Amino acid sequence: MIRANDIIDKVADYYPAADFDIIRKAYAYSAYAHRNQVRLSGEPYMVHPIEVANILAEMKMDVASIAAGLLHDTLEDDPMTSIEDLSLRFGDEITSLVEGLTKISKIKFKSSREHQAENFRKMILAMVKDIRVLIIKLADRVHNMRTLDFQRPDRQTAIARETLDIYAPLANRLGISWMKQELEDNSLRYLEPAIFKELEEKVARKELESREFIERIIKIIHRNLDHYGIEGQVSGRLKHIYSIYRKMVRRNIAFEQIYDIIAFRILVDSKAECYNVLGMIHALWHPVPSRFKDFISMPKANMYQSLHTTVIGPEGRHIEFQIRTHEMHQVAEMGIAAHWHYKEGYQLDDHDRKQMDWLRQMIEWQQEVSSPGEFLDTVKIDLFSEAVYVFTPAGEVKELPNGSTPVDLAYAIHTSIGDHCTGARVDGRLVPLRYQLKNGEMVEILTSKRQHPNKDWLTFVKTSKARTKIRQWVKREEERRSIELGREMFEKAFVRNKLSFNRALKEGRLQEAAEAFSLKSVDALLSALGRGKLSPRQVLNRIFPELKKGGRKKGKKSEEKVEKKPARDGISIKNIDDVLVRFAKCCNPLPGDDVVGFVTRGRGLTVHRRSCRHVQQGNSERYVDVEWNLDRAGVHHVKIRVMCEDIKGMLVALGTAISSQDANITKGTLNTSIDRKAVCFFEIEVKDLEHLKKVKQALRAVKGVYQVTRIS
């Protein structure tokens, strides 16, 4: 078992000035927190965090990462460990790393579908505020995969699947190629044990067979490097098993048919030498034209740089060469982790500083580069994601725009779930519909058959799907209510004329009437009535032409005058939008007034002030709850009376006062009396009660005015 000192020795090698105390403290703390836990292998649990820290030390990571590696499971496994406790002992940097790791470990990956895997990777990246969290997580996974033998077989395949789908691609994205390769090979070992075993043997045999060949090639290269005065490191090896396997599957070929199974790597000091060596290789052997790749001038998305070429070598065997500088090689192996390398001797020259600033550099490069390129789609975009990733109870990951709510998720799952969504449980706790979802949350949508979309939802939903569906529902609902209202009005008109609605319906007369008005159906006719596009009288006259003469008298018997022009703006009636609304002339209600609505024969809905005498009297009409919709307020007429002195220019002064408040005058009269007093009546257009108040104030401010009253 590795001890604290082994790790400290390793760190001391690359960073002699490191704070070893913090590593010792983290070691002791973790050992205590896990003291009662045992791994499936039977070893003390502590072996695991130590191995993880050891991997990080081998990667030359910083002290904070190594300490976090030691502590990575404490928060989750030990009930006595808290965030406060950790930050008191180890500071905020280490604590936030441990916190980040705990968050990721709580996500349970379930679906192995391809796009789900991609969403899951994005979710992890979106959750990671510090890339070190991801590197530690990968080290954790590397060790778990090394010790997977002790798991139950079903867990083995599940973990291997997850590793192959999620973690190996993440290692690749961060450019840590050794991790990617090890994770891939170990996953395949458990997912396809028979194939893996066979390939492992074949590769071992091939390696043995090729040993002499490899040495021969290396000798030739060295001789030529010497000739050109280039110092270089040459190595040859077989490709890793998973990449061979993938090639076989993709091209549907046998192991024996893969030519470029051996890859040589030449490491030199400078970029110029890379190209010199390339020329040298191409002079020695014939290159395969389509196989040359220059990743030096065109680095890969994960910053990988190298020259690749395949040549037809001795015995007609294909050999692949990778040519790069030592620096590029370090990046190729360590990827983004190279950023946290401590340098021997701890002296930062320009070259080292460049290395240390690697991450920042990458991000800056991206901002300079005009074409967005692949990189933006990978690390940067993902780290500063515009999206939020949440789980459904079935374990599916859903990607939604930032700021999305349970309603957005409900519609993303299914329209009917959205339409009946009453609330949500996020990680087991109830939240309101307007709650903004966060990364990694498990969201359960609650529904009820009695629930329906609400116009209010439009104020907080983020996705266009939710928006469209809510609007559709509201529209359908308005249609339904219009039909209902139209039918009610129409039936009353029938009763008034001593006719039977049902008989007319049965005899197809309503259908005929609908057609006469170029409407598709009876419902369309009733809706047109409800919306005030047609009046019941118009339709009745069409069905029963004989009514035309006598009908007038009866229809006249209405108790108040109403504005002729439909003015539907400014008022809303529950879910109805497009119903014919009139404002009663008797009381001229203004937005802000306390109002009620009445279904009036043949006139749709009439809005009165609650204080209106017609309301007070009460009658057989139907009472409807209405509300002012101030966003959509239109213009309303109101009458005012102004008592004032009869002075020259008074009418002009009053007119100016009204106009100064942006109110329009539609009518105005001035009556004078003998005692030099005057009474003026104005009919003006205002937006609402507030607006009227301002007009009244302006009028009162006119010299000579002593009373301003709103009148019915």
CB 217 within 8 A of CB 162: no
Q: How far is the CB of 102 from Mn ion (least distance, A)?
A: 10
State the DSSP H helix or E strand holding residue 580, giving kind and residue range, or none if neither: none
Q: Give 39 or 480: the residue with its C-beta nearer to Mn ion.
A: 39
Phi, psi of 640 (to 5 degrees): -135, 155
CB 276 within 8 A of CB 219: no
User: Which string of x and - marks every residue 508-527 that binds Mn ion (by CB under 5 A)?
Assistant: --------------------
Amino acid occupying residue 542: R
- Residues within window 51-90 making contact with Mn ion, judged by CB under 5 A: 73
CB 559 within 8 A of CB 537: no
- Determine the residue with CB nearest Mn ion: 140
User: Which string of x and - marks every residue 351-390 that binds Mn ion (by CB under 5 A)?
Assistant: ----------------------------------------
Q: How far is the CB of 423 from Mn ion (least distance, A)?
A: 35
From 13, 77, 333, 593, active-site residue: 77
Q: How many residues bind Mn ion (CB under 5 A)?
A: 2
Q: How far is the CB of 268 from Mn ion (least distance, A)?
A: 39
Q: How far is the CB of 37 from Mn ion (least distance, A)?
A: 11
Q: Give 106 or 548: the residue with its C-beta nearer to Mn ion.
A: 106
Q: Is 84 designated active site?
A: no
CA quadruple 289, 294, 300, 302: dihedral sign: positive
CB 581 within 8 A of CB 566: yes
Angle, CA 78 vertex, CA 75 and CA 80 arms, to 5°: 95
Q: How far is the CB of 366 from Mn ion (least distance, A)?
A: 32
CB 571 within 8 A of CB 557: no
Amino acid occupying residue 144: N
Q: Is 76 designated active site?
A: yes
Residue of 490, 522, 519, 524 whose CA lies nearest to 509: 522
Could you give the residue ranges of the DSSP H alpha helices within 549-687?
Answer: 551-556, 613-617, 650-660
Angle, CA 149 vertex, CA 75 and CA 2 arms, to 5°: 55
Q: Give 139 or 407: the residue with its C-beta nearer to Mn ion.
A: 139
* Helix, strand, coil abundance in the chain, percent, nearest 5: 55, 15, 30
User: Which string of x and - marks every residue 132-151 that binds Mn ion (by CB under 5 A)?
Assistant: --------x-----------
> Which residues lie closer than 8 Å to 311 by C-beta, 6 or more apart?
281, 282, 284, 285, 286, 287, 288, 318, 319, 321
CB 47 within 8 A of CB 153: no
Strand 636-645's sheet: what is its strand order? 664-672, 677-686, 636-645, 705-711
Residue 363 token pair: 């991000």
Question: SS3 of 124, please?
Answer: helix
Q: How far is the CB of 140 from Mn ion (least distance, A)?
A: 4
Q: Give 81 or 276: the residue with its C-beta nearer to Mn ion.
A: 81
Q: How far is the CB of 107 from Mn ion (least distance, A)?
A: 14
Residue 6 token pair: 């082994």
Q: What is the residue-wise DSSP string for 325-359?
A: EHHHHHHHHHGGGGGGPPPGGG---HHHHHHHTHH
Angle, CA 692 vertex, CA 687 and CA 694 arms, to 5°: 115
Q: Give 136 or 466: the residue with its C-beta nearer to Mn ion.
A: 136
From 19, 58, 76, 78, active-site residue: 76
CB 136 within 8 A of CB 56: yes
Distance CA 690, CA 591 (A): 8
Q: How far is the CB of 182 from Mn ion (least distance, A)?
A: 16
Q: How far is the CB of 118 from Mn ion (least distance, A)?
A: 24
Q: Give 52 or 474: the residue with its C-beta nearer to Mn ion.
A: 52
**Three-class DSSP labels, 265-291:** EEEECCHHHHHHHHHHHHHHCEECHHH
Q: How far is the CB of 42 from Mn ion (least distance, A)?
A: 17
Catalytically active residues are 76-77
Which chain residues interact with Mn ion by CB under 5 A?
73, 140
